[in-house]
Amino acid sequence: MAFPILKLPYELQKPIYDDNLHLQADDGLAPVIIAFEKRPALQKALIKRQQEITLEVTSENQAEFPKMKLQDILRFKNLKIVVTSCAPSK
């Protein structure tokens, strides 16, 4: 028998989802998002939540990353490093 997660208030569902919104190596959707494909509103909310808990470091913002306060970094559950070029900088 499956756990009736959808019967819980969203405030209790959110931490469960957060712990299962891991980034995929192929940049695909997390399995928990795929599991709710028949509930588009919830799926959309989970995609948005995954974006909120993912810190994306790019060449544009990499200088700011080491300056971030630890408390700000800790609110993220995922770290995504985007490499746009392997060429050495001048």
CB 84 within 8 A of CB 59: yes
What is the band of 88 on the pLDDT scale with cuts at 50, 70, 90? Answer: low
SS3 54: strand
Please give the distance of CA 11 from its chain centroid, rounded to a whole number.
Answer: 17
H helices present in 1-90, as ranges: 10-18, 31-35, 40-52, 70-73
Residue 88 lies in a domain: no
Residue 52 lies in a domain: yes
Q: pTM of this prediction?
A: 0.76
Residue 49 lies in a domain: yes
Provide the pLDDT for residue 13. Answer: 87
Look up the domain containing 63 and give its range. Answer: 10-81
pLDDT tens-digit map of 51-79: 999 999 998 898 998 999 999 999 999 99
- Separation of alpha carbons 40 and 43, rounded Å: 5
Residue 2 lies in a domain: no
Instruction: Provide the number of structural domains found in the chain.
Output: 1
